[in-house]
Amino acid sequence: MATVGALTRALLRSSLTHSGRQLSAAAAAAGGHGEQAARTWKILSFVVALPGVAVCMLNMYLKEQQHSHEQPEFIPYSHLRIRSKRFPWGDGNKSLFHNAHVNALPGGYEGHEE
């Protein structure tokens, strides 16, 4: 059994040194490959990525212009806006990132008495 382990270690050691020589020879032969790859990625960044971001921003801007800015109808569902404990900030009724136009309180939107 010990001879099998010794044989396995010897084969692994020889294969590692042989593949290491091949890798270092391939890297030396490639030479300026890193410079070419950096140049390719730089070109791709300016030609593909930046125009892609600009198109996405334009799309978002145009969709926002078409979007309705009306306040949604308040429907007092029993499972929403449950306040079993007051919030530890402000008046205790508004969440931390409360938006009066979009987020309704348990009694309805602020400023709209119906």
Three-state DSSP string of 91-114: CCCCCCCCCCCCCCECCECCCCCC
pLDDT at 3 (0 to 100): 77
Q: Which pLDDT band holds residue 33 (cuts at 50, 70, 90)?
A: confident
pLDDT of residue 15: 57
pLDDT at position 2 is 73
- The pLDDT assigned to 50 comes to 94
Residue 95 has what pLDDT?
86
Q: What is the pLDDT of residues 35-76, one digit of tens each?
A: 999 999 999 999 999 999 999 999 999 998 988 778 878 888
**How do the domains of the chain map onto residue ranges?**
1-31, 32-62
Q: Is the pLDDT of residue 24 over 60?
A: no
Residues 6+ apart with CB under 8 A from 101: 71, 109
- Calculate the dihedral angle through the C-alpha atoms of 23, 25, 31, 36, rounding to the nearest 10 degrees: -30
Q: Which is higher by pLDDT, 24 or 55?
A: 55
Question: Could you read off the pLDDT of 73-110 as tens digits, one per residue?
Answer: 888 888 888 888 888 988 888 889 988 888 888 888 88
